[in-house]
Amino acid sequence: MCIAVPMRIVKVKDNVGICEYEGTVREARLDLLEDVKVGDYVIIHTGFAIQKIDIEDALETIKIYKEIESLK
Partner 1 sequence: MKSNTFQILSEFKNVAIFHRELDKIRLLSSKINKVVKFMEVCGTHTMQISYFGIRKVLPQNVELISGPGCPVCVTPIEYVDKAIYLLKKYNNIVIATFGDMFRVPGSESSLEVEKSKGKIVEVVYSPVEVIDIAKRYRNNEVVFLSIGFETTMPGISVLLQELKRLKIENVSLLVGNKFFLPAMRSLLNSLDKFFVNGFILPGHLSSIIGSNVYKDIVKNYKIGGVVCGFEPVDIVIGIRTLLEMIGNGNVSIVNEYSRVVKPEGNIKAKKIISRTFVPTESLWRGLGWVADSGAKLTNEYSFFDAEKRFSIPKNIPTKKQIGCKCAEVILGKIKPYQCSLFGKVCSPEKPVGACMVSSEGSCAAYYKYER
Nearest approach in angstroms of CB 11 to partner 1 is: 15
Please state whether 42 falls in left (phi above 0), alpha (psi between -120 and 50) or beta: beta
Contact of 17 with 30, CB cutoff 8 Å? yes
- Residue with Cβ nearer partner 1 (2 or 13): 2
Per-residue x/- marks for partner 1, 42-61, CB under 8 A? -x-xxxx-xx-xxx-xxx-x
* Binding to partner 1 in span 14-43, by CB under 8 A: 21-22, 29, 31-34, 39, 41, 43
Contact of 41 with 52, CB cutoff 8 Å? yes
